[in-house]
Structure 1
Amino acid sequence: MKIGAIFTSLALIVATTLGATPAAAQATGAAATPPRPPRIDSTLFSAPSQFSRPSISPDGTRIAYIANTDGRDRLVVKFIDTGERAIFQYPEGSDLEWFRWAGSGRLLFSMSGEVKFLGEEAQRTVLSVIDVKTRQILTLADEKQGLRGDNVIYVDPAGEYVLLNRQKTIYDYPSVFRIMLADNTTTKVVGEKDNVWDWVADDSGVVRLGVGSRGSATLVYYRPDAEQSFKMIGRIKDDDEDREVLDGLLRIITGSDDGFILTNKKTGRDALYRYNYATRAIGELVVGDPTYDITDFALDRKTGAVTAAYLTDDRFRALWLDPKMNAEQAKLERALPGMDVWISSRSADDSRMIVFVASPNDPGSFYLYEPKARKLDRIAGPADSLDPAQLAVTKPVRYKARDGLMIPAYLTLPVGRAPTGLPLIVMPHGGPFGVRDTMEFDADVQFLTNRGYAVLQPNFRGSSSYGEDFYKQGVGSVGRAMQDDLDDGVDWLASEGTIDSHRVCILGASYGGYAALWGVIRNPERYRCAVSLAGVTDLKRQLRYDSKFFSRKGARGWRSKIEGEERFDLDEVSPVGHIDQLTRPVLIAHGDADGTVPQSQYDRFIEAAKKAGKPVEAKLYKGEGHGLSDPKNRADYYDRVEAFLAKYNPAD
């Protein structure tokens, strides 16, 4: 959305922008059948974002964000009042996992990369901190530590220290360490305890809860304050519903046994309840939704009251329990009708906020909002090179899988084409668990629709936020029922007459790349071709690689999700082991610095294809991680996809 640079009041926003919004264009009587848009060059879809994932500092003076310069993502800190910027480059071959403020003068960030462990590849995460004033970066790692080095359980509001749940060595259970952010001075504050893998601190940084496992039971250790020792208050069997309560998001309030918890125990949907940690008793409901899971919540640091809860229906949303913030949200939505508005980050005193404004076919804009001054200044957009008027609108749909389960999905049809007999691209998301697609702008989807394809994004069983029953339907269904959900979406669109069932290809990244490869191997009668970016090809090896495998609790939980409780043999649904069945064209791409799905997954598939005499189009991108951050590589990937699809599933 190309709105002007600075607006001095919300009233002015209403006066000057409504005519530019997609909603307004529709309201003025746009043509029922719009003209076919021009071909948008791949470089515009792959143009580097100079501003993404912004986070404002607690004192409201700085914004941290990701910018792509010279083909690489970098962390940037911008000083709001002066415009000064500090740019920080992290190591090549590493993937940025997350970043967050520690006070207003330091920025924590986590990187992941590939290491060798017991003769196998494994993923290792490392925590680092930036001192914004001195521009120095300090790595908060110990060479002997376990594979997960970024499990922060508390951040000091002043930014002096963090509490880190970390193994001293790979052979130990994790302890909790206080890490001083100025010099990496490390003090053990809670020692390791047999079978305990997770520790929880209250909102003042006192470690109060430990959760572990022994055999088939979950063990719960608790203490009311820092002066007392931990006592086991529960031994919960795997089939006990109380175990799943403790798998939720936990928050303990200082000076009491009370707090909050997300659990689906009462309704099958994750909702926010009060919770007593000493008795493990669920209290009154704070906020819930009858259809979707509550995924997170925020507390007031001073009072401990819940200020907001978050869920995703078709889009990510905040449910404000704070009346003041609820009023600000309503004010912004009134000023920008027809647009989706998110308050994505706030200073501690709410004097400054970052607001994101978008619509299904609008990449959006970030604004700096100052409520008292009634100012909303545009900062940047994640994809300013694209014109929303030329982009397709994504709509939510639902269809019935073969076993009767209703599958939510998103359908995007190409602009300027009759919605019948269209060529289709099925685009499954990554994960597969804990992830889902939404109606937010997606460059891949818009690229494909601009080339004339309909795009279906199924939120197959196991996708997040749809409740416990939908999640459980996905357990043990990788390569089986999850794959059926994709196929059934094709059948539904064909029965509706929207697509031509003989003109279907499947494309995805990460787990979606796996699903694409497995789709053409398992069901060549359905798919004419497949495109896989950073895809998993050998599920067993990927399980061993994933760092979850190297904690006993994580190994058990992750394996049960992927394999199912009966320990299904994953070789039966791994593309690399069934290469002899491949009869359809495949394009496979990967980054040689991918720390999430290692290059060996790509190499094994290519090697197996050569041995079996199966021609495969392949491209390995140097220096790229889990995805393509260099815009030149991204454009090259789009061009390869376009040529590949034009050859094997032409849109015209």
Structure 2
Amino acid sequence: MRKQYHARHMLASLLLFSATVATAQTPSAEDFAKRPDAWELSLSPSGQYVAMAVPTADGMETRLEIFNIQSGKSQILRFGPQQHVSDITWTADDQLVVARAEMEPLKARPSTQGELYTTDVKGKNQDVLFGYVPEHEGKRGKRNDHGWSVLAKVLPNEPGMALVNFLCWDCGTEPNTVIFKVDTRTGARKEVERTSGRAYYQFDETGEARLRTTWDDNDEPVQYYRRNKGADWAPLPKSIAGRQIYSVRFAADNNTAYALITDKLEPAQAYRVDIQSGTRTKLASNPDVAVSGFMYGGLEGLPFAVTFDARSPSIQYIDPESEWAKLHAGLMKSFPGEMLSFNSFSRDGNKVLFSVWSDRDPGSYYTFDRATGKAQKLVDYRPWLKPETMAKARPITFVNRGGQNIFGLYTAMGTGPKPMVVMAHGGPFGIYDTWGFDDEVQFLASHGYAVLQVNYRGSGGRGEEFEQAGWKGWGTTIQDDITDGVRWAIDQKLAEPNRICTFGASFGGYTALFQPILNPGMYKCAIGYVGVYDLPLMRKTDKNMGQSKRTARFFDRTLGTDMDALAKVSPVQRVAEINVPVMLVHGGDDHTADLNQYKAMTAALKDAGKPVETFLAPGEGHGFYKPENRAELFRRMDAFLKKHIGSNAK
């Protein structure tokens, strides 16, 4: 307790100092578009180093920086020009594995591309661990891996050794899933498991696969397990999990496991499972919201808490007497209004890497020394964005026309009714908006707008039943929930009813143009960003691009196959009913919402004599990658909204 008291007051003094800094001016479009100082951090098992994924100033490359906590020195490692790294994992005190990544534009951060690199802390012996190295000048490449690889588990008792999950694209009629045991120092690998088709393995502490999920021809999960180490695979008893079991961590006895479980279509709940006896004990649940994850104590420690994030962010300590729960609770008190996550730990448990973040704060990373009770700030994610200049995001709940509780977020500066932007998330299925910092939301709020985000039926975080309730509801069920959310905001005096616009990306772009069709007079303008506007065209385009059978089945289930019905809920087909000014934004190389979607919608609006502004960015894909294009998007949105619901509106 004495250490926790010291930590609280030391960190509180840091916050008092930061609070004395003069309030900054409203950030610019460039400020919101600028890359952060670091994407992710990871503490080495020795506690000596922190590895950081650091973007270059122009955002065109992400490098690996190794920071020595003791000496204060750092070293930059590159993996090739214009290459990005993500998913930093220490496999030994001096060895790391990273994923080759590409920028995910709509998330504006690097995302793995299924290839793995390995390096030591000094940048020597860098190599491709899994990936495709093409032939060069007649010499065969060292790696010829046609597939997708993910580092599945580090083996802490065997320094440098790890398990890699490899989805092999040219193995059999269906891609095989192969588990390799890999020496990350030398690249030597040995196959230990193989399944025909997709499979998801979960391992005990020795690295043996104990749980396996495959999917049948209807894409329903099929669960298997090994009751004892070395046993054959057998069907998983319903007493353990009736439908899904994931996020599994085994205790040292390699029998007790902690997992998130569903029996039918309900929100996931947290359990402690006895594998041999086939019994389980519930640790945490909520009938409306899924447990989003565990919080672990120590490098290979057990869970001390669970988190929920689909309604409002919350933490439930499932082991409140744990030293880690007490440490976490103590540190939380030093950061009022923020969430705090343990990111990684030293092997001896003395050093902890943690991050803090909120709706107004992009986040900061610290190390905490439990022996001294002192914290050291390593990096502010985006120090030029000051929390005191940002708007609060308020979790909301309203009742839709069918009597169901619908969750969402309302973000605005100050109080009282404001001009409002209705911002639907993409997907639409399985994705959901969560409380936290959002560039687009905060940019809009900083210019005086309220932002409404609705987690409509079909959104994730509330179980499969809630998600499936939105299937085949692109233009009906989902839109009803969004409409009901707008009406609720008006009734609550949060929105000025004559100053409302829509904006969204991907499926959100579709919604931005379809909402004004369904609700004449409710909106004054619409902004579609990399959106889909012609559903029959989307289905035809996807099939022509070699859509996988699994993806095709998913669209059949969630969107439907009736092309006449899809045409009736397509903005392109109902352009005569769009009676608001429109702005369309698209990337010239978008292969998700094909460029033909933008062309078709633009042509339809012009042919119908409807006002439309356009912004087509050459070289951009499904969302903008370059900071200068993101900044230009923000500026154009600001001018457009100002004209129709802002200070220049009639």
Cα gap change, 1:461/1:55 in structure 2, threshold over 3 Å: closer, same or farther? farther
1:131 shift after superposition: 0.9
Looking at structure 2, the residues matched to 365 and 124 of structure 1 have their Cα atoms a distance apart, in angstroms, of 23
Matched, 1:167 2:168: yes
1:605 shift after superposition: 4.1
Looking at structure 2, the residues matched to 161 and 129 of structure 1 have their Cα atoms a distance apart, in angstroms, of 13
Matched, 1:506 2:502: yes
Corresponding residue number in structure 2 for 1:32: none
1:66 shift after superposition: 4.1
1:424 shift after superposition: 0.9
Matched, 1:188 2:191: yes
Alignment counterpart, residue 74 of structure 1, candidates 56, 59, 62: 62
Indicate conservation of the 8 Å contact 2:256/2:274, yes or no. Answer: yes
Indicate conservation of the 8 Å contact 1:56/1:64, yes or no. Answer: no
Cα gap change, 1:323/1:599 in structure 2, threshold over 3 Å: closer, same or farther? farther
Of stretches 371-380 and 267-276 in structure 1, the one that deviates more from structure 2 is 267-276
TM-score normalised by structure 2 residue count: 0.80
Looking at structure 1, the residues matched to 475 and 147 of structure 2 have their Cα atoms a distance apart, in angstroms, of 28
**Correspondence list, 1:490-501, <5 A:** 490-501=486-497
Matched, 1:464 2:460: yes
Code of the residue aligned with 1:640 in structure 2: it is: R
Q: What are the Cα deviations for residues 479-498 of structure 1, in whole angstroms up to 9, with x where unaligned?
A: 32112111111111222333
**Correspondence list, 1:33-432, <5 A:** 40-60=27-47, 61-72=49-60, 74-81=62-69, 82-88=72-78, 98-104=87-93, 105-111=95-101, 125-132=113-120, 133-134=122-123, 136-138=126-128, 140-142=130-132, 149-157=148-156, 158-169=159-170, 171-178=173-180, 179-182=182-185, 184-193=187-196, 197-216=199-218, 218-224=221-227, 227-231=230-234, 245-246=243-244, 248-251=246-249, 259-265=257-263, 268-275=266-273, 281-289=278-286, 291-297=288-294, 305-312=302-309, 313-315=311-313, 317=315, 319=317, 321=319, 323-415=322-414, 419-420=416-417, 422-432=418-428
1:448 shift after superposition: 1.3
Q: What are the Cα deviations for residues 303-333 of structure 1, in whole angstroms up to 9, with x where unaligned?
A: 8743443322523647463711111112212
Looking at structure 1, the residues matched to 476 and 466 of structure 2 have their Cα atoms a distance apart, in angstroms, of 15
**Correspondence list, 1:417-456, <5 A:** 419-420=416-417, 422-456=418-452
- Structure 2 alignment gaps of length 5 or more: 1-5, 105-110, 135-142
Q: What are the Cα deviations for residues 370-411 of structure 1, in whole angstroms up to 9, with x where unaligned?
A: 222222222232232233333322222222212122222222
Cα gap change, 1:598/1:139 in structure 2, threshold over 3 Å: closer, same or farther? farther
1:559 shift after superposition: 4.8
Indicate conservation of the 8 Å contact 2:294/2:305, yes or no. Answer: yes
The alignment partner of 1:190 has SS state of: strand
Q: What are the Cα deviations for residues 555-608 of structure 1, in whole angstroms up to 9, with x where unaligned?
A: 545653x23799995444344554554443322323445576555554554465
Q: What are the Cα deviations for residues 202-249 of structure 1, in whole angstroms up to 9, with x where unaligned?
A: 343223444334445654444456755445568x9xxxx998622644
Indicate conservation of the 8 Å contact 1:412/1:454, yes or no. Answer: yes
The alignment partner of 1:535 has SS state of: coil
Code of the residue aligned with 1:176 in structure 2: it is: V
Alignment counterpart, residue 15 of structure 2, candidates 14, 17, 25: 17
Greater RCO, 1 or 2 (C-alpha within 8 Å, sep 6+): 1
**Correspondence list, 1:500-539, <5 A:** 500-538=496-534
Looking at structure 1, the residues matched to 525 and 147 of structure 2 have their Cα atoms a distance apart, in angstroms, of 38
Code of the residue aligned with 2:149 in structure 1: it is: D
Indicate conservation of the 8 Å contact 1:9/1:374, yes or no. Answer: yes
Indicate conservation of the 8 Å contact 2:86/2:98, yes or no. Answer: no
**Correspondence list, 1:465-484, <5 A:** 465-467=461-463, 469-484=465-480
Q: Between Structure 1 and Structure 2, how many residues are aligned?
A: 614
Q: What are the Cα deviations for residues 529-572 of structure 1, in whole angstroms up to 9, with x where unaligned?
A: 222333344556767859x9966566545653x23799995444
Looking at structure 2, the residues matched to 541 and 96 of structure 1 have their Cα atoms a distance apart, in angstroms, of 35
When the two chains are superposed, the root-mean-square deviation of aligned CA atoms in Å is: 4.3
Code of the residue aligned with 1:439 in structure 2: it is: W
Looking at structure 2, the residues matched to 49 and 565 of structure 1 have their Cα atoms a distance apart, in angstroms, of 43
Indicate conservation of the 8 Å contact 1:113/1:594, yes or no. Answer: no
The alignment partner of 2:484 has SS state of: helix
Looking at structure 1, the residues matched to 85 and 525 of structure 2 have their Cα atoms a distance apart, in angstroms, of 32
Cα gap change, 1:145/1:552 in structure 2, threshold over 3 Å: closer, same or farther? farther
Looking at structure 1, the residues matched to 389 and 413 of structure 2 have their Cα atoms a distance apart, in angstroms, of 10
Code of the residue aligned with 1:53 in structure 2: it is: E
Indicate conservation of the 8 Å contact 1:175/1:192, yes or no. Answer: yes
How much identity, in percent, do the aligned residues show?
A: 26
Cα gap change, 1:538/1:325 in structure 2, threshold over 3 Å: closer, same or farther? farther
Indicate conservation of the 8 Å contact 1:124/1:149, yes or no. Answer: no
Cα gap change, 1:600/1:251 in structure 2, threshold over 3 Å: closer, same or farther? farther
Code of the residue aligned with 1:77 in structure 2: it is: E
The alignment partner of 1:72 has SS state of: coil
Indicate conservation of the 8 Å contact 2:258/2:273, yes or no. Answer: yes
Q: What are the Cα deviations for residues 482-524 of structure 1, in whole angstroms up to 9, with x where unaligned?
A: 1211111111122233322222111122332332233234445
- Structure 1 alignment gaps of length 5 or more: 1-7, 26-34, 115-122
Of stretches 572-581 and 50-59 in structure 1, the one that deviates more from structure 2 is 572-581
Code of the residue aligned with 2:214 in structure 1: it is: G
Indicate conservation of the 8 Å contact 2:244/2:262, yes or no. Answer: no
1:302 shift after superposition: 8.7
Cα gap change, 1:113/1:633 in structure 2, threshold over 3 Å: closer, same or farther? closer
Code of the residue aligned with 2:434 in structure 1: it is: T
Code of the residue aligned with 1:630 in structure 2: it is: K
Looking at structure 1, the residues matched to 537 and 160 of structure 2 have their Cα atoms a distance apart, in angstroms, of 39
